[in-house]
């Protein structure tokens, strides 16, 4: 009667011991990782604290921005705290990051807002507490919600690729597919409208066969383009919000039997993978922007504010260049070689 129970107890306790050992090991490993992260990014009280918040942590554009800010902070003797949303539309995550950084005592926050308006209330509260807020890449609506904006002129970036697409398809019958980021994306709207302006058409024009949301990522963009091709298989001009999106669109077009010669794909960003795709002929032209510059100038502005009390103001254009393999008459562009020398990611 007692023996089976004793065996049961024994078995349970062995299992308990094994499980406990595993749990302790997991906790120890996690603590070590967090402690290591804390040691490398941990702040020292004497340094100027700068916060950087991006839409997500995986897009190469933001990875480069993070790298640029880290390097600038090191050079200027500041300490950088970094946070990002879980996805490019994670407003709640960005709001919490703004609040926590403000409490952590940062002098300034550099942010690529996920939504034109959703973070404004949190930004206003941070500014009220004396934190300088600089929008990088994506403007808030209105722009005055932040102290300053350091960005590519996204509308112009769109105009450049719109003009290129127009010149590349001169005399041809055009059917356009457009892959945006997601609803509420301020930068997405600017590039989209810029493309239309450059192409010389208005929203709702009959040449636009399809407008899809690709989240600025490869897989969702492929899905969106596949669906667009179902709607209209004649699509031969494709606007994409960025180069990962263009890569996804091309996969869909290729699977549908399209050739590079018969389709014109334009994009924005100028990441190294994107420029390599221009060289390969997948993307015909892309507007290259310079995230390292946005981030390093942003960190510099916050450090200057901490030292002199002078706040950054207004809009600083960090520049944009059209990169194309084939130069076209009437459209100014830089070579692939230039693009590769100045690319990021």
Minimum CB separation from other proteins for residue 282, in Å?
Answer: 30
164 near 343, Cβ under 8 Å?
Answer: no
| Candidate list 27, 32, 219, 341; residue touching other proteins; CB under 8 A | 27
| Residue 116, helix vs strand vs coil | coil
| Candidate list 2, 308, 309, 314; residue touching other proteins; CB under 8 A | 2
101 near 83, Cβ under 8 Å?
Answer: yes
CA distance 39 to 43: 8
Q: Do strands 48-54 and 108-111 pair parallel, antiparallel, or not at all (unpaired)?
A: parallel
CA distance 27 to 20: 10
- Cis-peptide, bond into residue 142, ω within 30° of zero: yes
Q: Taking CB under 8 A as the rule, does residue 219 contact other proteins?
A: no
Q: Taking CB under 8 A as the rule, does residue 75 contact other proteins?
A: no
Closest to 306 in 3D by CA, of 130, 144, 143, 137: 130
Closest to 124 in 3D by CA, of 111, 133, 135: 133
Minimum CB separation from other proteins for residue 10, in Å?
Answer: 12
Q: Taking CB under 8 A as the rule, does residue 38 contact other proteins?
A: yes
Minimum CB separation from other proteins for residue 156, in Å?
Answer: 19
- Using CB under 8 A as the binding rule, the residues of this chain from 151 to 190 that contact other proteins are 182-184
CA distance 2 to 238: 77
Q: Taking CB under 8 A as the rule, does residue 142 contact other proteins?
A: yes
Minimum CB separation from other proteins for residue 42, in Å?
Answer: 5
| Candidate list 71, 127, 141, 193; residue touching other proteins; CB under 8 A | 141
Minimum CB separation from other proteins for residue 8, in Å?
Answer: 6
279 near 243, Cβ under 8 Å?
Answer: no
Q: Which range in 32-40, 196-204, 252-260, 326-334 contacts other proteins by CB under 8 A?
A: 32-40
| Candidate list 10, 21, 32, 57; residue touching other proteins; CB under 8 A | 57
Q: Taking CB under 8 A as the rule, does residue 9 contact other proteins?
A: yes
Minimum CB separation from other proteins for residue 337, in Å?
Answer: 35
147 near 127, Cβ under 8 Å?
Answer: yes
Binding track over 98-127 against other proteins, x by CB under 8 A: -xxx-xxx--------xxxxx-xxx-----
Cα 237 to Cα 102, 220, 232, 258, 304, distances in angstroms = 45, 19, 12, 11, 45
| Candidate list 65, 78, 90, 158; residue touching other proteins; CB under 8 A | 90
Nearer Cβ to other proteins (36/280): 36
Nearer Cβ to other proteins (81/263): 81
Q: Do strands 78-84 and 48-54 pair parallel, antiparallel, or not at all (unpaired)?
A: parallel
Nearer Cβ to other proteins (103/255): 103
| Residue 77, helix vs strand vs coil | coil
Nearer Cβ to other proteins (18/280): 18
| Candidate list 48, 63, 72, 97; residue touching other proteins; CB under 8 A | 97
Task: Say how many C-beta atoms besides its own lie within 10 A of residue 316's C-beta.
Answer: 17
Q: Which range in 25-33, 223-231, 269-277, 293-301 contacts other proteins by CB under 8 A?
A: 25-33
Note the Cα 284 to chain centre separation in Å.
21
CA distance 117 to 144: 11
Note the Cα 170 to chain centre separation in Å.
32
Q: Taking CB under 8 A as the rule, does residue 215 contact other proteins?
A: no
Q: To which H or E segment does residue 69 belong?
A: helix 60-76
By the criterion CB under 8 A, which residues form the site for other proteins?
A: 2, 5, 8-9, 12, 16, 19-20, 23, 26-27, 30, 33-34, 37-38, 41-43, 57, 79, 81-87, 89-93, 95-97, 99-101, 103-105, 114-118, 120-122, 140-142, 144-145, 182-184
């Amino acid at each position: 009667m007692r023996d089976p129970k004793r065996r049961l107890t024994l078995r349970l306790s062995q299992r308990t011991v094994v499980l406990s050992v595993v749990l302790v090991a997991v906790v120890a490993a996690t603590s070590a990782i967090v402690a290591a992260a804390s040691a490398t990014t941990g702040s020292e009280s004497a340094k100027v604290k700068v916060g950087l918040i991006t839409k997500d942590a995986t897009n190469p554009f933001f990875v480069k921005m993070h790298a640029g800010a880290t390097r600038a902070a090191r050079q200027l003797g500041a300490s950088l705290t970094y946070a990002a949303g879980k996805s490019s539309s994670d407003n709640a995550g960005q709001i919490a990051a703004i609040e926590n950084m403000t409490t952590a005592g940062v002098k300034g926050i550099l942010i690529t807002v996920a939504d034109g308006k959703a973070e404004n209330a949190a930004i206003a509260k941070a500014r009220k507490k004396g934190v300088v807020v600089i929008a990088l890449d994506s403007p808030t609506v209105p722009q005055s919600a932040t102290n300053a904006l350091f960005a590519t002129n996204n509308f112009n970036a769109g105009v450049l690729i719109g003009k290129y697409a127009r010149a590349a398809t001169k005399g041809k019958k055009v059917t356009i597919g457009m892959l945006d980021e997601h609803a509420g994306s301020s930068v997405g709207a600017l590039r989209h409208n810029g493309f239309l302006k450059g192409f010389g058409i208005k929203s709702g024009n009959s040449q636009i066969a399809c407008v899809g949301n690709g989240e600025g990522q490869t897989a969702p963009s492929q899905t969106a383009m596949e669906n667009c091709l179902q709607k209209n298989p004649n699509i031969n001009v494709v606007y994409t919000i960025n180069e990962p999106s263009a890569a996804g669109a091309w996969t869909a077009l290729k699977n549908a039997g399209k050739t590079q010669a018969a389709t014109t794909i334009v994009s924005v960003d100028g990441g190294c993978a994107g420029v390599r795709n221009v060289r390969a002929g997948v993307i015909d032209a892309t507007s290259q922007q310079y995230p390292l510059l946005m981030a390093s100038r942003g960190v510099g502005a916050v450090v200057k504010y901490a030292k002199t009390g002078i706040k950054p103001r207004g809009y600083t254009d960090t520049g944009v260049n059209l990169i194309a393999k084939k130069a076209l008459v009437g459209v100014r562009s830089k070579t692939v070689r230039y693009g590769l020398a100045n690319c990021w990611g």
